[in-house]
Structure 1
Amino acid sequence: MKRMKERFGNLQQSPWFPLVIYGAVMLAFCLFCTRLFLKTDDGNFTGMLLAPDFTLKGFLTKRYLTCSGRTVGEFLLMVFLKAPLICWKLANFGMLLSIAYFFCRLYTLAAGDIPLRERILFASLSLWMIFFLSLNSPAFWFSASFFYAWPMAAMLCTLSPLVTLLFGGKVRYGFLPLWCLAAVLAASQEQSCVLTLTFFLILFVALCIKEKRFRFLFLPQLFLIVVETVWMLTAPGASVRSAGEAAVSYPEFAQLSLLRKLCGGFINLLTHQFFYIQLISILLLAFLGMALYQVFPKKWLKILLAILNGVHFFLCVPFNLLMAATQRGGFQWLNTAFTGNRLGWAAYLTIALGSLCILACAGISLILLIAKRDAVHAGIFLCLMAAYASAMTISFSPTIYSSGQRVFFYTDILLLAACGLLYCTLPQTKSVRRLRMGAYVYAGVNFTFDVILFTLLELPWLG
């Protein structure tokens, strides 16, 4: 008994204790709150499984020819759907915990004054900084988790050795089989395969340049990613699925010009950033502004950044409250206005201000990269560019209008990575501490609301 108390005391003193607490809370949430939502895709896949003529091979073949190339994800979905539900709950918990663990490892590699325990605490709470109505469907819905949370976790796993080496850390090459398995799962979804392949190539080339030698050990991962990406993007059923989604959600989508599709995707990104991930959006611009002011401590810049952050905060909080009060549904009003061809002067002004904030984030991150020229700020810039690129690539698919906010899950995780890296580089000023505390309070309240929602309700419109 005494030895157990000593071990627990040592664990409490460990900087990794916040991740342990997070893991325990997340495990309890996954076990007792998550379940099948039969009014959603969970019910559709359950019906397919229970069909008298169902065979796994026949199901996967038909899906590849008539729906998409998500063969790996759909294989796992059907295997876990046939197994006791607790198997998925435990596996899903493992995937979500691995995302938090990657954040912890990433933040601890960054240079800065923030203590190790604070970095791990920030990383552990990061996932709950995503508004729960946006987080639930990709992370906690059974069927959607195989196409969003799981590929995202696998992508981080397969990229982790490259990231660690670029930051000057050490890796254990005995995990190569795990990295290869993760590569297959990481490339099993459209957004994920493009992101994984792009990131892997950039990081691999950067590592070869840094070390001035070719790392043959990573070629198996690259080969698997390329093969899975080709399988995914050449699936004959992709066009069939796209036409079906357009017919249901946006019948005029096929007639839209390329520019108008991009505009629609950008408006969806604005809606998501200022309505569903307000906290991440506020933290990102605030941290970027603080980092820029550290490099260029000019009074005029401080005033300019204050105005920019003020406009940004207005869009994230008062504007949404105002729109909700006038029964327009917050920032989501923009989507309705776009699809209904009802963009007026108020919509154009909102789009202009929102665009200014997003461009400011991209511009400041580029300036910081040029000024600092280190791995941390290169990572911040890459994460931001990849986040926005991931969001914009969905512009060419009607999925953005039919699948809801789950399609931005990759964007959310990448923005969280950028926020965390920025946070680690900042001094512990009063402003940083206030923002950090506000983020922790938001995460706690967000989690509480989600527990209540999953405990009491079953709402099919969460995602």
Structure 2
Amino acid sequence: MVKFASMITAERAARMVFVLFVLVVLAIAWTQGLRVGDDMMYRDALRDKRLFEYVAHRYQIWSGRFLIDATTVAMVQSVTLWRLCTTAMTTLLFGMLAYYLGAVRRPLQMAMLCAGLFLIDAEVARPAFWWMTGSFNYAWPLALAAVALLPFVRPDLPRRAFLLTLPAAVYACNHEQVGLLLLGLETVLAVWLWRRQGRLRAWHVLQMAVGSVSLITVLLAPGTSARFGVHTTYWFPQYLQLDMVERVFSGLQLAFGHVFAAGNPVTFLLAVALLGVVWLRSRDPIDRALAVAPVLMFSLPLAAQLIGPGRTEATRLLDIANFPAGSTGRDRFEEFWIGLAGNAVEPMLYLHFLFCCIGTLCIGMGLYRALATDARWGRGLAPLLWTAGICSTAMVGMSPSLYASGPRIFFFQDMLSLVLLCAVMVQLPHRDVRWLLLLTALPLAGVGIRAAIGMS
């Protein structure tokens, strides 16, 4: 047995892990199907309209995501086709992430990446991967964004490969969050290619231009304005009473709160991995204190509980610290929104915001130090991705659709956190420590798999 194990190369072991992951994804997808609500609406869309007529109508009254809507209407008609295609898209997404991370030759990192899908809170992952309508709006755009990013990582790609990334960029940028993330990251990489390597080509600029046009057609669509009117007139009329500072606070509260939410093991493991890297590399007390702070932040709900349920301040802090951990429904998300007058004068709300802000900054500084010597990341890319994940949630939190979309708005933040977790894991100096981190994650991933299957 030992001799057989020694014959398996690291690359082959990583491939075996990935194949197992694909089989698990396919098995879960096969338990999913049409759900009431949007799935049924899209399935029945072609009963009295043609595809072009329906998409054009949606573009005028509700949504600028014309490509995503067209794909949804066409694909939702066949559950079997969707199961196969969403498995393929999930495989594409995690395959591209594995390539960018270099996990194809690191079985432990590959295992953590694959397990990461099931570490994401089930209430976040379900609408992004396992809900038919949601998958076209979240998992698919992110997978194609990963493809569109390839020329900026491999500028020596042939022209045909460049051309294949153009439709991927168009579809990805048909989603506001993904489009802004993709174009922002491409801009940074384009500047790097131009100034440091002199390898920026016209095809890079063309892809960014095409993606920008796709994003602009969404942002300036009549349906986007119409939806804004519905949100601010009927659903959240108090939104128009907030000034810009309150809207920014609302967005950051949502993003910072999710970093340290009780149902978010991805960022918890990221904080633990950063603590391990810093503790084993540095003896500087300040560096170690900054690494310990985020881990302590996850104990905030426990600390509030230990203070005693009889203390009003502790109870209030406990409630806020658990917000918005995996609970669905608009009322739950509104509970600690600053737009409600009672919350605006709640001291515990601002104390929790301060703690989460400090913890988030500490993670960003830890990423800067942990990956500074990795040529794949450089000094600034990891903190930039961390900031991008925070901003992807915050910009939804600043909008009137703040609490109407549900927990799926955290999907992109969690996926970027997962990428950073896998990157930091490699920096742990001892293989035994990396194994310990993975073994901590696997039981949690098992719970996530059970939850995904139970959602059928």
Match of 2:92 in 1: 98
Q: Counterpart of 2:221 in 1: which secondary structure?
A: coil
TM-superposition CA deviations, 1:149-169 (whole Å, max 9, x none): 11111111110232245xxxx
Distance of aligned partners of 1:240 and 1:206 in 2 relative to their CA distance in 1, 3 Å threshold: same
Compared CA separation, residues 303 and 358, structure 1 to 2 (3 A): closer
Q: How far has the Cα of 1:419 moved from its partner?
A: 1.4
Specify the alignment match of 2:178 in structure 1: 192
1:28 aligned counterpart, secondary structure: helix
Residues 138, 144 of structure 1: 8 Å contact kept: yes
Corresponding residue number in structure 1 for 2:24: 25
Q: Which moved more, 1:270-279 or 1:129-138?
A: 270-279
Residue 137 of structure 1 contacts residue 406 of structure 1 at CA under 8 Å; is this kept in 2? yes
1:49 is aligned to 46
Query: Does residue 1:73 correspond to 2:68, yes or no?
Result: yes
3-state SS, counterpart of residue 342 of structure 1: helix
Query: What's 2:4 paired with?
Result: none
Q: Corresponding residue for 2:340?
A: 340
Does the C-alpha gap of structure 1 residues 310 and 13 become closer, same or farther in structure 2, counting only changes over 3 Å? Answer: closer
Range 185-194 or range 339-348, more displaced: 339-348
Shift in alpha-carbon separation, 1:289–1:171, aligned structure 2, 3 A: farther
Letter in 2 for 1:311: L
1:28 CA drift (Å): 1.2
TM-superposed CA distance for 1:248, in Å, is: 4.6
Q: 1:104 to 1:133 in 2, by over 3 A?
A: same
Contact 2:367-2:382 at 8 Å conserved across structures = yes
Q: Provide the residue aligned with 1:257 in structure 2.
A: 243
Q: Which residue of 1 aligns with 2:322?
A: 330
Partner of 1:376: 377
Query: Is the alpha carbon distance of 1:431 and 1:351 closer, same or farther for their aligned partners in structure 2, counting shifts above 3 Å?
Result: farther
Q: Secondary structure at the match of 1:411?
A: helix
C-alpha distance in structure 2 between counterparts of 1:48 and 1:419, whole Å = 41
Hey, what's the Cα distance between the residues in 1 that align with 2:439 and 2:370?
25
Identify the residue that residue 459 of structure 1 maps to in structure 2: none
The answer to whether the 8 Å contact 2:14/2:103 transfers is no
Once residues 305 and 150 of structure 2 are traced to their aligned partners in structure 1, the CA distance between those partners, rounded to angstroms, is: 37
Shift of 1:443: 0.9
- Mark the CA change 1:175 to 1:318 in structure 2 (over 3 Å): closer, same or farther: farther
Residue equivalent to 1:363 = 365
Question: How do residues 175-186 of structure 1 correspond to structure 2 at under 5 angstroms?
Answer: 175-186=161-172
| 1:254-293 alignment runs, 5 A limit | 254-275=240-261, 278-293=264-279
Partners of 1:320 and 1:278 in 2: how far apart? 19
Residue 436 of structure 2 is aligned to residue 434 of structure 1 = yes
Q: 1:34 aligns to what?
A: 32
Distance (Å, rounded) in 2 between the aligned partners of 1:106 and 1:201:
18
Cα contact 2:321–2:352 (8 A) shared by 1: no
In structure 2, the CA distance between the partners of 1:303 and 1:397, relative to structure 1 (3 Å rule), is: closer
Deviation at 1:301, TM superposition (A): 3.8
* 8 Å contact kept, 2:426–2:434: no
Query: In structure 2, do the counterparts of structure 1 residues 320 and 100 end up closer, same or farther at CA, with 3 Å as the change threshold?
Result: farther
Of 352-361 and 238-247, deviating more is 238-247
Matches within 5 A, 1:440-455: 440-454=442-456
1:60 matched to 2:60? The reply is no
Is the CA contact (8 Å cut-off) linking 2:89 and 2:139 kept in structure 1?
A: yes
Please give the per-residue CA displacement for 1:259-288, whole angstroms capped at 9, x wherever unaligned: 111111122223322336521111222233
Indicate yes or no: 2:135 matched with 1:133. no
Structure-2 residue corresponding to 1:3: none
The DSSP-based 3-state class of the residue aligned with 2:190 is helix
Q: Is residue 146 of structure 1 aligned with residue 136 of structure 2?
A: yes
Distance in 1 between the 2:167 and 2:218 partners? Answer: 16
- 1:62-103 residue CA offsets vs partner (Å, 9 max, x unmatched): 222221210110010111123x21111111111111121122
The match for 1:15 is 14
- C-alpha deviations, 1:204-238, integer Å up to 9, x for none? 22123332233233343223212212212211221
In the superposition, the TM-score normalised over structure 2's length comes to 0.85
Residues in 1 aligned to 2:170 and 2:302: alpha-carbon distance in whole angstroms: 40
The whole-number CA distance in structure 2 between the counterparts of 1:293 and 1:453 is 40
Contact preservation (8 Å) 2:231, 2:400: yes
Q: Which residue of 2 aligns with 1:87?
A: 81
Q: Which moved more, 1:438-447 or 1:359-368?
A: 359-368
How far off its partner does 1:366 sit?
4.0
Instruction: Check the 8 A contact 1:100/1:126 in 2, yes or no.
Output: no
Read off the aligned partner of 2:377 and give its amino acid letter: V
Q: Contact (CA 8 Å) 1:133, 1:276: kept in 2 or not?
A: no
Change (3 A) 1:226 1:346: closer
What is the SS of the residue equivalent to 2:174? coil
Other structure's SS at 2:14 match: coil
Question: Aligned partners of 1:237, 1:13: CA distance in 2, in Å?
Answer: 49
Check the 8 A contact 2:59/2:223 in 1, yes or no.
Answer: yes
Runs of 5+ unmatched residues, structure 1: 1-8, 455-463
* SS of alignment partner, residue 402 of structure 1: coil
**What amino acid is the match of 1:312?**
M
Q: 2:397 aligns with which of 395, 417, 424?
A: 395
Contact 2:93 2:143 in 1 (8 A): yes
Quick one: distance in 1 between partners of 2:280 and 2:196? 27
Equivalent position amino acid for 2:59 in 1: Y
In 2 relative to 1, CA 242–184 (structure 1 residues): closer, same or farther, beyond 3 Å? Answer: same
CA displacement 1:407-460 (0-9 Å, x = unmatched):
121111111111111112221265543332111211111111221232xxxxxx
User: How many residue pairs were aligned?
Assistant: 433
- Measure the CA separation in 2 of the matches of 1:304 and 1:71: 45
Kept in 2: contact 1:131–1:276 (CA 8 A): no
Alpha-carbon spacing, 1:310–1:213, altered in 2? closer, same or farther (3 Å): closer
TM-score (norm 1): 0.84
Against the structure 1 CA distance between its residues 320 and 15, is the aligned structure 2 distance closer, same or farther, given a 3 Å change threshold?
farther
1:239 and 1:99 map into 2 onto residues whose CA distance is 31
Q: How far apart, CA to CA, are the structure 2 residues paired with 1:10 and 1:283?
A: 27
- In structure 2, the CA distance between the partners of 1:361 and 1:334, relative to structure 1 (3 Å rule), is farther
Note if 1:315 corresponds to 2:314: no
Q: CA shift at 1:298, angstroms?
A: 1.9
TM-aligned CA distance change 1:301 to 1:194, over 3 Å: closer
